[in-house]
Protein backbone atom coordinates (compact mmCIF):
# COMPACT_ATOMS: atom_id res chain seq x y z
CA UNK A 1 0.00 0.00 0.00
CA UNK A 2 1.41 3.31 -0.94
CA UNK A 3 1.81 5.82 1.83
CA UNK A 4 0.09 8.59 -0.11
CA UNK A 5 -3.24 7.07 0.79
CA UNK A 6 -2.73 7.68 4.51
CA UNK A 7 -4.20 10.84 6.03
CA UNK A 8 -2.19 13.63 4.53
CA UNK A 9 -0.34 15.88 6.96
CA UNK A 10 -2.00 18.88 5.48
CA UNK A 11 -5.30 17.60 6.81
CA UNK A 12 -3.71 17.66 10.24
CA UNK A 13 -2.71 21.21 9.64
CA UNK A 14 -6.08 22.47 8.46
CA UNK A 15 -7.91 20.63 11.23
CA UNK A 16 -5.23 21.02 13.89
CA UNK A 17 -5.30 18.74 16.83
CA UNK A 18 -3.76 21.48 18.85
CA UNK A 19 -6.67 23.77 18.32
CA UNK A 20 -9.00 20.86 18.99
CA UNK A 21 -7.32 20.15 22.29
CA UNK A 22 -7.48 23.80 23.13
CA UNK A 23 -11.21 24.03 22.59
CA UNK A 24 -11.94 20.78 24.37
CA UNK A 25 -9.86 21.73 27.35
CA UNK A 26 -11.70 24.99 27.83
CA UNK A 27 -14.90 23.00 28.24
CA UNK A 28 -13.38 20.62 30.73
CA UNK A 29 -14.87 21.65 34.03
CA UNK A 30 -18.28 22.89 32.93
CA UNK A 31 -20.97 22.19 30.39
CA UNK A 32 -19.74 23.62 27.07
CA UNK A 33 -20.82 27.25 27.08
CA UNK A 34 -21.18 27.42 23.37
CA UNK A 35 -21.97 24.91 20.70
CA UNK A 36 -18.69 25.98 19.06
CA UNK A 37 -16.93 24.18 21.89
CA UNK A 38 -18.07 20.87 20.44
CA UNK A 39 -16.20 20.68 17.19
CA UNK A 40 -18.27 17.82 15.77
CA UNK A 41 -21.41 19.96 15.84
CA UNK A 42 -19.83 22.96 14.24
CA UNK A 43 -21.18 22.14 10.81
CA UNK A 44 -24.80 21.69 11.85
CA UNK A 45 -24.69 24.94 13.78
CA UNK A 46 -23.96 26.85 10.59
CA UNK A 47 -27.02 25.37 8.91
CA UNK A 48 -29.24 26.20 11.91
CA UNK A 49 -28.12 29.79 11.64
CA UNK A 50 -29.23 30.08 8.04
CA UNK A 51 -32.82 29.18 8.92
CA UNK A 52 -35.08 30.74 11.55
CA UNK A 53 -34.33 29.53 15.06
CA UNK A 54 -37.34 28.42 17.04
CA UNK A 55 -36.74 27.77 20.76
CA UNK A 56 -38.59 24.71 21.93
CA UNK A 57 -40.70 24.80 25.07
CA UNK A 58 -40.13 22.27 27.87
CA UNK A 59 -42.98 20.06 26.73
CA UNK A 60 -41.57 19.82 23.23
CA UNK A 61 -38.05 18.70 24.31
CA UNK A 62 -36.59 16.18 21.85
CA UNK A 63 -33.34 15.64 23.73
CA UNK A 64 -30.61 16.96 21.48
CA UNK A 65 -29.89 19.77 23.91
CA UNK A 66 -28.11 17.16 25.99
CA UNK A 67 -25.70 16.34 23.16
CA UNK A 68 -22.97 18.69 24.42
CA UNK A 69 -23.30 17.12 27.87
CA UNK A 70 -23.05 13.65 26.37
CA UNK A 71 -19.92 14.55 24.44
CA UNK A 72 -18.47 16.24 27.48
CA UNK A 73 -19.03 13.10 29.57
CA UNK A 74 -17.54 10.94 26.83
CA UNK A 75 -14.37 13.02 26.55
CA UNK A 76 -14.02 12.98 30.33
CA UNK A 77 -14.25 9.20 30.30
CA UNK A 78 -11.99 8.67 27.34
CA UNK A 79 -9.48 11.38 28.13
CA UNK A 80 -7.27 13.04 25.56
CA UNK A 81 -4.22 11.90 23.69
CA UNK A 82 -1.35 14.15 22.84
CA UNK A 83 1.92 13.16 21.29
CA UNK A 84 4.72 15.67 21.50
CA UNK A 85 8.06 15.19 19.80
CA UNK A 86 11.23 16.91 20.95
CA UNK A 87 14.19 17.23 18.60
CA UNK A 88 17.55 18.83 19.27
CA UNK A 89 21.14 18.17 20.23
CA UNK A 90 22.19 16.52 23.46
CA UNK A 91 22.51 18.96 26.35
CA UNK A 92 19.93 21.55 25.31
CA UNK A 93 17.74 20.65 28.26
CA UNK A 94 14.97 18.85 26.38
CA UNK A 95 14.07 16.45 29.20
CA UNK A 96 14.33 19.18 31.82
CA UNK A 97 12.08 21.36 29.73
CA UNK A 98 9.43 18.65 29.34
CA UNK A 99 9.52 18.13 33.10
CA UNK A 100 9.10 21.88 33.57
CA UNK A 101 6.35 22.20 30.97
CA UNK A 102 4.15 19.44 32.36
CA UNK A 103 5.34 19.79 35.96
CA UNK A 104 6.14 16.12 36.14
CA UNK A 105 9.21 13.91 36.34
CA UNK A 106 9.03 12.06 33.07
CA UNK A 107 12.70 11.18 32.86
CA UNK A 108 13.41 10.41 36.51
CA UNK A 109 14.32 6.77 35.82
CA UNK A 110 16.71 7.48 32.95
CA UNK A 111 20.13 5.91 33.66
CA UNK A 112 22.95 8.44 34.19
CA UNK A 113 24.93 6.89 31.32
CA UNK A 114 22.20 7.99 28.87
CA UNK A 115 22.59 11.53 30.21
CA UNK A 116 26.33 11.47 29.64
CA UNK A 117 26.77 9.75 26.32
CA UNK A 118 24.26 10.27 23.52
CA UNK A 119 23.92 7.46 20.97
CA UNK A 120 25.97 7.82 17.78
CA UNK A 121 22.96 7.61 15.51
CA UNK A 122 19.47 8.99 15.97
CA UNK A 123 17.21 6.82 18.09
CA UNK A 124 13.53 7.19 18.80
CA UNK A 125 12.47 6.91 22.42
CA UNK A 126 8.83 7.23 23.46
CA UNK A 127 7.51 7.69 26.98
CA UNK A 128 3.90 7.91 27.99
CA UNK A 129 2.48 9.39 31.13
CA UNK A 130 -1.13 9.80 32.26
CA UNK A 131 -1.77 13.25 33.64
CA UNK A 132 -4.95 14.35 35.36
CA UNK A 133 -6.17 17.85 36.02
CA UNK A 134 -9.59 18.50 37.61
CA UNK A 135 -10.81 15.09 36.52
CA UNK A 136 -9.69 15.45 32.90
CA UNK A 137 -7.21 12.87 31.78
CA UNK A 138 -4.42 13.48 29.29
CA UNK A 139 -2.39 10.64 27.92
CA UNK A 140 0.83 12.43 27.06
CA UNK A 141 3.39 10.69 24.89
CA UNK A 142 6.75 12.37 24.52
CA UNK A 143 8.88 11.21 21.62
CA UNK A 144 12.54 11.98 22.23
CA UNK A 145 15.19 11.68 19.52
CA UNK A 146 18.53 11.16 21.30
CA UNK A 147 21.55 11.33 19.02
CA UNK A 148 20.16 14.04 16.73
CA UNK A 149 23.07 16.20 15.60
CA UNK A 150 25.47 14.54 18.00
CA UNK A 151 27.41 12.31 15.63
CA UNK A 152 30.30 13.38 13.42
CA UNK A 153 28.13 13.35 10.33
CA UNK A 154 24.72 14.97 10.67
CA UNK A 155 23.75 14.93 7.04
CA UNK A 156 20.92 12.42 7.32
CA UNK A 157 19.81 12.61 10.91
CA UNK A 158 16.36 13.85 9.95
CA UNK A 159 15.66 10.52 8.23
CA UNK A 160 14.88 8.24 11.22
CA UNK A 161 12.54 10.94 12.53
CA UNK A 162 10.70 11.22 9.24
CA UNK A 163 10.39 7.43 9.06
CA UNK A 164 8.90 7.31 12.56
CA UNK A 165 6.31 9.98 11.77
CA UNK A 166 5.34 8.18 8.58
CA UNK A 167 4.96 4.91 10.49
CA UNK A 168 2.56 6.56 12.93
CA UNK A 169 0.47 7.90 10.04
CA UNK A 170 0.36 4.45 8.54
CA UNK A 171 -0.67 2.81 11.84
CA UNK A 172 -3.46 5.32 12.33
CA UNK A 173 -4.67 4.88 8.78
CA UNK A 174 -4.68 1.10 9.12
CA UNK A 175 -6.64 1.27 12.39
CA UNK A 176 -9.11 3.76 10.93
CA UNK A 177 -9.79 1.74 7.80
CA UNK A 178 -10.01 -1.63 9.56
CA UNK A 179 -13.25 -3.36 10.49
CA UNK A 180 -14.42 -4.42 13.91
CA UNK A 181 -13.59 -3.18 17.36
CA UNK A 182 -10.25 -1.66 16.37
CA UNK A 183 -12.01 1.05 14.47
CA UNK A 184 -13.99 2.22 17.47
CA UNK A 185 -11.02 2.67 19.73
CA UNK A 186 -8.45 4.09 17.38
CA UNK A 187 -5.52 5.28 19.48
CA UNK A 188 -4.15 8.42 17.94
CA UNK A 189 -0.39 8.07 18.16
CA UNK A 190 0.44 10.40 15.33
CA UNK A 191 2.90 13.10 16.30
CA UNK A 192 0.74 16.15 16.91
CA UNK A 193 3.50 18.61 17.44
CA UNK A 194 7.28 18.76 17.22
CA UNK A 195 9.29 21.13 19.40
CA UNK A 196 12.52 21.82 17.55
CA UNK A 197 15.22 22.93 19.98
CA UNK A 198 17.72 25.48 18.67
CA UNK A 199 20.86 26.18 20.71
CA UNK A 200 21.16 29.72 22.07
CA UNK A 201 24.67 30.05 20.64
CA UNK A 202 23.66 30.01 16.98
CA UNK A 203 23.22 33.20 14.99
CA UNK A 204 20.82 31.96 12.36
CA UNK A 205 19.57 28.65 10.96
CA UNK A 206 22.44 26.19 10.54
CA UNK A 207 22.64 23.64 7.71
CA UNK A 208 21.37 20.91 10.06
CA UNK A 209 18.34 23.05 11.03
CA UNK A 210 17.51 23.90 7.44
CA UNK A 211 17.77 20.27 6.47
CA UNK A 212 15.48 19.10 9.26
CA UNK A 213 12.89 21.82 8.71
CA UNK A 214 12.95 21.29 4.97
CA UNK A 215 12.25 17.56 5.23
CA UNK A 216 9.76 17.61 8.11
CA UNK A 217 7.81 20.82 7.56
CA UNK A 218 4.99 19.12 5.64
CA UNK A 219 4.78 16.08 7.91
CA UNK A 220 4.36 17.57 11.35
CA UNK A 221 3.48 20.83 13.08
CA UNK A 222 6.89 22.25 13.91
CA UNK A 223 7.29 24.81 16.67
CA UNK A 224 10.86 26.14 16.94
CA UNK A 225 12.12 27.00 20.41
CA UNK A 226 15.40 28.58 21.47
CA UNK A 227 16.69 26.54 24.37
CA UNK A 228 18.55 27.75 27.45
CA UNK A 229 17.88 31.40 26.79
CA UNK A 230 19.09 32.32 30.25
CA UNK A 231 22.48 32.61 28.52
CA UNK A 232 21.30 35.43 26.25
CA UNK A 233 20.98 39.10 27.03
CA UNK A 234 17.71 40.74 26.03
CA UNK A 235 19.33 42.44 23.04
CA UNK A 236 21.00 39.21 21.93
CA UNK A 237 17.71 37.31 22.15
CA UNK A 238 15.86 39.94 20.12
CA UNK A 239 18.57 39.86 17.45
CA UNK A 240 18.56 36.06 17.33
CA UNK A 241 14.77 35.83 17.03
CA UNK A 242 14.82 38.41 14.25
CA UNK A 243 17.56 36.56 12.38
CA UNK A 244 15.81 33.19 12.76
CA UNK A 245 12.51 34.57 11.49
CA UNK A 246 14.30 36.15 8.56
CA UNK A 247 16.03 32.83 7.77
CA UNK A 248 12.74 30.92 8.13
CA UNK A 249 11.23 33.29 5.63
CA UNK A 250 14.27 33.21 3.34
CA UNK A 251 14.40 29.43 3.14
CA UNK A 252 10.62 29.10 2.82
CA UNK A 253 10.17 27.05 5.98
CA UNK A 254 6.56 26.37 6.92
CA UNK A 255 6.00 26.28 10.66
CA UNK A 256 2.86 25.49 12.62
CA UNK A 257 0.50 28.40 12.23
CA UNK A 258 -2.45 29.13 14.47
CA UNK A 259 -5.85 28.66 12.88
CA UNK A 260 -7.32 32.11 12.26
CA UNK A 261 -9.84 32.91 14.98
CA UNK A 262 -13.30 33.78 13.61
CA UNK A 263 -14.78 37.22 13.98
CA UNK A 264 -17.12 36.12 16.78
CA UNK A 265 -14.23 35.13 18.97
CA UNK A 266 -13.65 37.33 21.99
CA UNK A 267 -11.31 40.27 21.54
CA UNK A 268 -8.91 39.10 24.27
CA UNK A 269 -8.57 35.75 22.54
CA UNK A 270 -7.48 37.59 19.37
CA UNK A 271 -4.93 39.58 21.35
CA UNK A 272 -3.61 36.40 22.95
CA UNK A 273 -3.24 34.72 19.57
CA UNK A 274 -1.27 37.73 18.35
CA UNK A 275 1.06 37.64 21.37
CA UNK A 276 1.61 33.91 20.90
CA UNK A 277 2.27 34.30 17.21
CA UNK A 278 4.80 37.03 17.90
CA UNK A 279 6.63 34.89 20.45
CA UNK A 280 7.76 32.38 17.81
CA UNK A 281 10.49 31.10 18.08
CA UNK A 282 9.76 30.68 21.78
CA UNK A 283 12.61 31.56 24.12
CA UNK A 284 12.58 28.91 26.80
CA UNK A 285 14.55 27.58 29.75
CA UNK A 286 13.94 24.73 32.13
CA UNK A 287 14.79 23.75 35.66
CA UNK A 288 14.52 20.66 37.80
CA UNK A 289 14.81 22.66 41.01
CA UNK A 290 11.80 24.11 42.77
CA UNK A 291 12.05 27.17 44.99
CA UNK A 292 9.50 28.80 47.27
CA UNK A 293 8.90 32.43 46.34
CA UNK A 294 6.14 34.67 47.73
CA UNK A 295 4.29 31.65 49.01
CA UNK A 296 4.17 29.83 45.66
CA UNK A 297 6.49 27.22 44.25
CA UNK A 298 8.53 28.20 41.20
CA UNK A 299 11.02 26.33 39.08
CA UNK A 300 14.18 28.38 39.10
CA UNK A 301 17.90 28.41 38.42
CA UNK A 302 20.08 29.90 41.14
CA UNK A 303 23.17 31.63 39.77
CA UNK A 304 25.70 33.45 41.96
CA UNK A 305 24.49 36.70 40.36
CA UNK A 306 20.75 36.14 40.63
CA UNK A 307 17.83 33.74 40.53
CA UNK A 308 16.04 33.04 37.26
CA UNK A 309 12.38 32.07 37.50
CA UNK A 310 12.04 29.99 34.33
CA UNK A 311 8.35 30.87 34.05
CA UNK A 312 8.70 34.62 34.38
CA UNK A 313 7.06 36.07 31.26
CA UNK A 314 9.44 39.04 31.46
CA UNK A 315 12.18 36.93 29.91
CA UNK A 316 10.75 33.47 29.26
CA UNK A 317 8.20 32.44 26.65
CA UNK A 318 7.42 29.23 28.53
CA UNK A 319 3.99 30.46 29.74
CA UNK A 320 3.13 31.38 26.14
CA UNK A 321 4.23 28.01 24.83
CA UNK A 322 2.22 26.21 27.49
CA UNK A 323 -0.77 28.38 26.64
CA UNK A 324 -0.40 27.49 22.99
CA UNK A 325 -0.01 23.76 23.55
CA UNK A 326 -2.53 23.08 26.27
CA UNK A 327 -5.19 25.74 26.49
Binding site for its own copies (CB under 8 A): 89-93, 115-117, 120, 150-155, 199-204, 206-208, 211, 228, 230-231, 233-234, 243, 301-308, 314-315
Name beta bridge partners: 80: 138
Backbone angles phi, psi at 222, to 5 degrees: -95, 130
Residue number with CB closer to its own copies (39 or 199): 199
In this complex, which beta carbon is closest to its own copies, that of residue 180 or of residue 306?
A: 306
User: Distance (Å, rounded) from C-alpha 5 to C-alpha 3?
Assistant: 5
Q: Give how far Cα 189 sits from Cα of 83, 134, 143, 257, Å.
A: 6, 24, 10, 21
Q: How far is the CB of 166 from its own copies (least distance, A)?
A: 23
Residue 249: CB minimum distance to its own copies, A = 15
Q: Give the Cα-Cα-Cα angle 305, 227, 201 (nearest 5 degrees).
A: 80
* Cβ nearer to its own copies, comparing 145 with 154: 154
With respect to its own copies, which residue has the nearer C-beta, 188 or 312?
312
Q: How far is the CB of 220 from its own copies (least distance, A)?
A: 21
- Least Å distance, CB 193 to its own copies, is 23
Give min distance, CB of 315 to its own copies, in A.
5
Min CB(120)–its own copies separation in Å: 7
| Cβ–Cβ < 8 Å for 74, 66 | no
CA atoms of 59 and 71, how far apart (whole Å): 24
Choice between 85 and 198, CB closer to its own copies = 198
Of the two residues 37 and 247, which places its CB atom closer to its own copies in the complex?
A: 247
Q: Give the residue with the Cβ less far from its own copies, 39 or 151.
A: 151
**How far is residue 136's CA from residue 35's CA, in Å, rounded to a whole number?**
20
Report which of 242, 226, 217, 325 is spatially closest to residue 285, judged by C-alpha positions: 226
Q: Nearest approach, Cβ of 163 to its own copies (angstroms)?
A: 19
Q: Does an H or E element contain 296, and which? A: strand 296-303
Rg over CA atoms, the chain: 22
CB 149 within 8 A of CB 208: yes
Task: Identify the H or E element spanning 129.
Answer: strand 125-133
Burial of 95 (0-12, 13-18, 19+ CB in 10 A): buried
Amino acid sequence: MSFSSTPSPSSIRTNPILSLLRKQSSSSNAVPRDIRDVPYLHQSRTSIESSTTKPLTFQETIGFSTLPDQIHRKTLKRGFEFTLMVVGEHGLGKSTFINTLFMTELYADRPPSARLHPPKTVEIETRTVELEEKGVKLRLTVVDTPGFGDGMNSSECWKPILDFIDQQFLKYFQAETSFGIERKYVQDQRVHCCLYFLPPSIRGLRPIDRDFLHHLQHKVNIIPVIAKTDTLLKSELTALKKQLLSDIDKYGVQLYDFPEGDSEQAEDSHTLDKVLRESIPFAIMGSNTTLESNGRKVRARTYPWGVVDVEDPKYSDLPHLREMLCK
